[in-house]
């Protein structure tokens, strides 16, 4: 009888998570495993069948009462045999007592609802090369490293339900990532990160006080990544963000539902133009 064991994945094993996510056409960032692991070193579960990795799932704890599920994958050869659901149960047990979030692909959303999740909004992935629209002249776009980290982390908390300093410090500093902030009249008005992915460049987060700030950041991020095609996961409840993506000629290519087991977190949705990552929130 085959032996199935669920273990905690280290950074080296987490490269499997990225490989499998790429196989699923989720287009992960090339170096995501490093900041992801820093978010919660015990939050990535790898299922092995007779020592062969066959399932993955993340169950990342944030603060005292929030958690996020991602990377829920069973390899094709073991699907329908109960190994995936065992991984799911282990992940949910790890997050027991917390408000749990996830981004559910369309064909799994009914299953998540049966597990107690409710849809808060839909993320629409827009992709392509942004049209060359010029932003307002009074917006300064500079390297995020020029802003004290505490100020940046405090700004991030406006848009995310919990503190995530260890993750954020690597997210802005991993080689290949571009992290920019927008300043208007000396005030921090936006923040964005771009990273190389399996295909093109992923942008997230993209926070902005207005659509012209979002445009300035997106232009800067695109230029820093040599004009490669970008992809952003945009919440459909932010109408200004959707209109900006359409105005720039980006095309919808994928969608998933942001779902929670508890109340929808109180964050600044009007300023949230793109999620950081659908794997970790």
Q: How far apart are CA 162 and CA 63, in angstroms?
A: 6
Q: CA nearest 92: which of 117, 118, 75, 55?
A: 117
Structural tokens at position 1: 């009888």
pLDDT tens-digit map of 141-156: 999 999 999 999 999 9
Over residues 155-168, mean pLDDT = 98
Hey, where are the domains in the chain? 4-123, 125-274
Same CATH fold assignment for domains 4-123 and 125-274: yes
The partner residues of 191 in beta bridges, in order of sequence, read 181, 207
Q: For residue 198, what pLDDT band results from cuts at 50, 70 and 90? A: confident
Phi then psi for residue 112, to 5 deg, are -65, -35
Query: What is the C-alpha to C-alpha distance for residues 193 and 204, in angstroms, rounded to an integer?
Result: 5
Residue 207 bridge partners (DSSP):
191, 272
Residue 136, pLDDT score: 83
Please state the rounded mean pLDDT for residues 203-230: 95
Tokens linked to 269: 């949705």
Instruction: Give me the percent of the chain exceeding a pLDDT of 70.
Output: 100
pLDDT reported for residue 244: 97
Among 67, 6, 73, smallest CA distance to 39 is for 67
Mean pLDDT of 189-204: 95
The stretch 188-212 carries a mean pLDDT of 96
What was the pLDDT predicted at 97? 97
Q: Closest Cα partner for 62 from 79, 32, 38? A: 38
Query: For the chain, what is the radius of gyration of the CA atoms?
Result: 18
- What confidence tens digit (pLDDT) does each residue in 235-274 have? 999 999 999 999 999 999 999 999 999 999 999 999 999 9
Average pLDDT over every residue of 180-184: 97
The rounded mean pLDDT for the chain is: 95
User: What global pTM score does this model have?
Assistant: 0.94
- pLDDT level of residue 206 (50, 70, 90 thresholds): very high
Q: Nearest 5°: phi and psi at 200?
A: 70, -145
Predicted confidence (pLDDT) at residue 91 exceeds the cutoff of 90: yes
What's the topology of domain 125-274? Answer: Aminopeptidase (3.40.630)
pLDDT confidence of residue 1: 64
Choose among 159, 166, 160, 143: nearest CA to 40.
Answer: 166
Q: Does domain 4-123 have CATH number 3.20.20.240?
A: no
Confidence of residue 46 (pLDDT cuts 50, 70, 90): very high
**pLDDT score recorded for residue 279:** 93
């Amino acid at each position: 009888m085959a032996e199935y064991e669920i273990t905690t994945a280290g950074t080296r094993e987490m490269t499997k998570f990225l490989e499998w996510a790429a196989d699923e056409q989720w287009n992960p960032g090339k170096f995501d495993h490093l900041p992801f692991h820093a978010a919660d070193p015990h939050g990535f579960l790898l299922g092995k069948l007779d020592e062969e990795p066959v399932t993955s799932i993340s169950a990342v704890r944030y603060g005292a009462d929030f958690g996020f599920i991602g990377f829920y994958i069973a390899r094709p050869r073991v699907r329908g045999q109960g190994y995936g659901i065992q991984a799911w149960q282990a992940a949910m047990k790890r997050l027991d007592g917390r408000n749990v979030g996830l981004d559910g692909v369309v064909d799994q959303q009914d299953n998540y609802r049966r597990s107690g999740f409710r849809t808060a909004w839909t993320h629409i992935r827009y992709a392509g090369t942004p049209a060359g629209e010029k932003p307002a002249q009074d917006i300064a776009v500079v390297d995020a490293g020029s802003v004290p980290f505490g100020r940046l982390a405090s700004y991030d908390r406006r848009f995310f339900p919990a503190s995530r300093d260890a993750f954020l410090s690597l997210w802005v500093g991993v080689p290949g990532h571009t992290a920019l902030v927008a300043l208007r009249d000396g005030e921090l008005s936006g923040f964005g990160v771009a990273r190389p992915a399996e295909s093109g460049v992923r942008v997230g987060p993209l926070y902005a006080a207005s659509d012209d700030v979002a445009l300035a950041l997106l232009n800067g991020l695109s230029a820093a990544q040599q004009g490669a095609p970008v992809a952003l996961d945009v919440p459909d409840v932010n109408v200004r963000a959707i209109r900006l993506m359409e105005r720039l000629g980006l095309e919808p290519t994928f969608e998933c539902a942001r779902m929670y087991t508890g109340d929808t977190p109180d964050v600044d949705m009007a300023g949230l133009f793109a999620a950081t990552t659908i794997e970790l929130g």
